[in-house]
Structure 1
Amino acid sequence: METRKRILSLDIFRGLTVILMILVNNPGSWSFIYPPLKHAAWHGCTPTDLVFPFFLFIVGVSISFSMFNAKEDKLKRPKLLRKAIWRGSKLIGIGLFISLFPFFDFSVMRIPGVLQRIGLVFIFATSIFLYSDIKKIIGIIFILLISYWAIMTLIPIPGIGEANLDDPNKVLSAYLDFKLMGGHLWSGTKTWDPEGLLSTLPAIATALLGVVAGILIKTKRDDKIVKLLVFIGVGLLILGYFWGIVFPINKSIWTSTYAVYTAGWAYLTLGICYYIFDVKQYYPKVSIVPRAFGLNPMIAYVVAELCAKLLYLIQIEGVSVKEHLYQLIMNVGWSNEMGSLVFALSYCSLIYAFVHILYKKNIVVKV
């Protein structure tokens, strides 16, 4: 088996994902989002809906790379698992901190969240990777996706009856979220959460599909990797699309078809990045931007989230700093949607200035 050190394409892929995540989360106005940066209203998948599953997929690839050799020593596995649990717990803690910041009102704290899901998925995906070979991992992916489909479509909902996937409040995941965490859910709904508990199952499958990709890259020759990643990506896209006819592709409840379909795009994107940056070793100067983000993804995301809250909460003459800045941009004469995009790009540029300094000083902040 051929093993590899850190691959540049993974850093670039991760960085591009973080950049898009910051752009999506920070429009100038939520009333005038630049169209390509909008999520699907319910069923469906826009480019924006690829961001989170891409990140979880990359988490899976990274698990394979960081632990590939160490897992062969069975005596090291318990220690690696403890480290994974500790790291995942820290991610969950940081996610809860962001939710509470800056008022720390536990009565309205949102329990689920992006980092909370990443933390949980990291723990479970690492556990499975450490104690399973690639065939078992593929089997577990299959079980998770089929089981979630059966749970969401076949189990009746207490007080409601048959599940209705077209109604956000008539699915089992929403019922469980509200029963277990009512009052601590996403403020956009207050009755269900896009990062809820039950939908974490297929999210784990998303990361495990990344684990499989990482294993293939670690064990296959360069002349086969790109073709293999592209072939698998196309196959997953086709499977996700046609399965989606009966089990709609939906990010908010992370349907099995959504996990498969987005993983297809992730395989294709990783394959293209691998061909450009690792096979052809083409590294234009502009690549420094995603690489700087890719080397410090968590600190970039956390700083972006906390600063965004402060811009909204700090007010001047009763108007938030964010609104003042947005109006300055709008005074140039942009359309509402374009002005919203310019604000997002400007904000992302500020975060880049921060991670660029870290990059130049060779500082990598690890959780």
Structure 2
Amino acid sequence: MNERYYSLDIFRGATVAFMIMVNNPGSWDHIYAPLEHAAWHGCTPTDLVFPFFLFAVGNAMAFVMPRLQVQGNAYFIRKVVRRTLLIFLIGLFLNWSPFFMWQQNQLVVKSWEWTDANGIPHGIRILGVLQRIAIAYCIASFIVFYFKPRGAYIFGTALLLVYWGLCFAFGSSGDPYSITGFFGTAIDQSILGELHMYHGEGIPFDPEGIISTITPAVQVIFGYLVSHYIQQKGKTYEMLSGLLIAGLVLTFIGLFWSLSFPLNKKIWTSSFTVYTTGVAILVLGILIYIVEFKHVKGWWSSFFDAFGKNPLFIFVLSGFLPRLLGLIRIPNGLSANGKTLYTSPFGWFYEHICKNIAADLRVGSLVYAFSMIAFYWLVAYMLNKRKIYIRV
């Protein structure tokens, strides 16, 4: 059965909208707690965004996979490998963009590696969100294609257990799940090189590292299995009740598992995968009930649907445009030693408009984030209106 599920489009679009909001605050120093990632262990609403997107990738896979299976092995491999490489390279392009930077008041080409004015070496980060999506999609696609739904479920579950075992066996004996104890960091450093890793945690550590991409691939598999189940059962209350029960069970399994293998997005623990999948199923089940069964639609569904039509393009644009506009320097006062400070057009909008809305700077930061959602929604709306859909 291949019925159309508008709720899946809304789920995907809402996820993209939330990604834009949490990735584009007016100031990273002034954010409401639910809009921040957990410092290490734990799971905030913001930590749900990325696993929800991977879950949505799996949802879409269930509608595409039958066509790939009909086309045969060679076609499948060519299609998946091409898409994987393209998404990965777009992610690398985004990390490197806008290919120029300001250095000592001069606009210079951003090299693969460079040294700043203080003599500190830097490099282009190799991995990232899109790269993780690409790798997870590739792994999940091959597992689903060759092992079919039942085999994919068994394989995915086995990967979660194997990852747990690897983290425990090869991690630091004192705390294998800490940032310094996680065994995958040493592998990332040896393969990627410290200059080409994320440095936002105070040490070279990549939250989208090589080893920790095993479990996101399982997240995609689970998304596929849920969508496959929805298709097989059709729009029935049996399907809906099964979905909600599965969501509750996985959520509680994830929480129970977290007692020994903590919820952690940055090393994407197995418990985190199961827990966030459970929550995603519950949210999707509620959406299906509202949209497919009760037919409650309106401006809100159209709003999120616009994002869902071009999800990858809108996400890339929301990352690329601020970087590009960052090359435009607008004078913004003087530093303590009398040097001119600069900001970008988006930065000027926050500093001179949003920041002054309330004494609590978190309000202005949130207003800026909502403004970014509105801006990118307008782009998504215009593309959808003209029936322009940018696929990868």
TM-score band, normalised by shorter chain: over 0.9
RMSD of equivalent CA atoms: 1.5
The answer to which of 104-113 and 344-353 deviates more is 104-113
Query: Is 1:216 matched up with 2:262?
Result: no
Deviation at 1:70, TM superposition (A): 4.5
User: Which of the pair is proportionally richer in strand?
Assistant: 2
Question: Which deviates the most, 193-202 or 78-87?
Answer: 78-87
Unmatched 5+ stretches in structure 1:
none
For residue 286 of structure 1, report the CA deviation from its aligned partner.
2.2
Secondary structure in structure 2 of the residue aligned to 1:222 = coil
Question: CA separation in 2, counterparts of 1:295 and 1:334?
Answer: 38
Please, which moves more after superposition, 219-228 or 84-93? 219-228
* Offset at residue 163 of structure 1 (A): 5.6
Evaluate the alpha carbon distance shift between residue 16 and residue 301 of structure 1 in structure 2; reply closer, same or farther with a 3 A threshold.
same
Percent of aligned positions that are identical:
37
Q: Deviations over 1:177-215 (max 9, x none)?
A: 122222111131351111000000011111111111011
Asked whether 1:171 is paired with 2:194, we answer no
Give 3-state SS (helix, strand or coil) of 2:357's partner.
coil
Show the counterpart of 1:188: 200
Q: Secondary structure at the match of 1:286?
A: helix
SS at match of 1:132: helix
Q: Partner of 1:319 in structure 2?
A: 342
Structure 2 CA distance for partners of 1:102 and 1:336, relative to 1, 3 Å? same
- Among candidates 20, 23, 26, match of residue 24 of structure 2: 26
Q: Distance in 1 between matches of 2:189 and 2:174?
A: 15
Q: How does 1:149-168 map to 2 (within 5 A)?
A: 149-156=164-171, 161-162=172-173, 164-165=175-176, 167-168=178-179
Deviations along 1:248-279, whole A, 9 cap, x unmatched?
00000000000000000111111111222223
- 1:319 counterpart SS class: strand
Q: Which residue of 2 aligns with 1:84?
A: 80
Instruction: Describe the superposition over 1:55-88 as per-residue Cα deviations: whole angstroms up to 9, x where unpaired.
Output: 00111111111123542x3x62330231011011
Report Cα offsets for 1:16-35 as digits up to 9, x if no partner: 00000000000000111122
**Given the alignment of the two structures, is residue 253 of structure 1 paired with residue 283 of structure 2, yes or no?**
no
CA distance in 1, matches of 2:375, 2:176: 40
Counterparts of 1:231 and 1:78, CA distance in 2 = 38
What is the TM-score with the length of structure 2 in the denominator? 0.88
Question: Secondary structure of 2:315's match?
Answer: helix
Distance 1:180 1:186 in 2: 14
- In structure 2, what is the equivalent of residue 95 of structure 1? 91
1:17 — aligned with what?
15
Q: Residue by residue, what CA displacement relative to the aligned partner does 1:261-300 show, whole Å, maximum 9, x if unpaired? A: 0000111111111222223332112211100000100110
Asked if the contact 1:81–1:126 (Cα under 8 Å) also holds between the matched residues in 2, the reply is no
Deviation digits for residues 149-199 of structure 1, max 9, x if unmatched?
00001125xxxx526245312210112112222211113135111100000
| Residue aligned with 2:211, SS | coil
1:150 partner amino acid = G
Alpha-carbon distance in structure 2 between the residues aligned to 1:78 and 1:276:
41
Quick check: 1:169–1:191 contact (8 Å CA) kept in 2? no
One-letter identity of the residue aligned with 2:376: I
Structure 1 residue corresponding to 2:381, chosen from 343, 346, 356: 356
Tell whether the 8 Å contact from 2:199 to 2:205 is kept in structure 1 after alignment.
no
TM superposition shift of 1:336? 0.7
| Unmatched segments (≥5 aa) in structure 2 | 100-109, 114-122, 332-340
3-state SS, counterpart of residue 199 of structure 1 = helix
Matched with 2:315 is 301
Of the three residues 174, 186, 211, the one matched with 1:198 is: 211
Q: Which residue of 2 aligns with 1:43?
A: 41
How many Å separate the matches in 2 of 1:120 and 1:163? 31
Contact 1:88–1:123 at 8 Å: present in 2 too?
yes
Q: What is the CA–CA distance in structure 2 between the aligned matches of 1:171 and 1:47, rounded to whole Å?
A: 24
Does the Cα contact within 8 Å between 1:163 and 1:172 map onto a contact in 2?
no
Structure-1 separation of matches of 2:231 and 2:17: 26
- Is 1:105 the counterpart of 2:118? The answer is no
Partner of 1:283: 297
Q: Confirm or deny: 8 A CA contact 1:35 1:337 kept in the other structure.
A: no
Q: 56, 64, 85: which one pairs with 1:58?
A: 56
Who wins on radius of gyration, i.e. which is larger?
2
> Helix, strand or coil for the counterpart of 2:264?
coil
Match of 1:338 among 339, 355, 363: 363
Instruction: Indicate the residue corresponding to 2:117 in structure 1.
Output: none
Show CA shifts across 1:101-120 (max 9, x none): 01242121101100001011
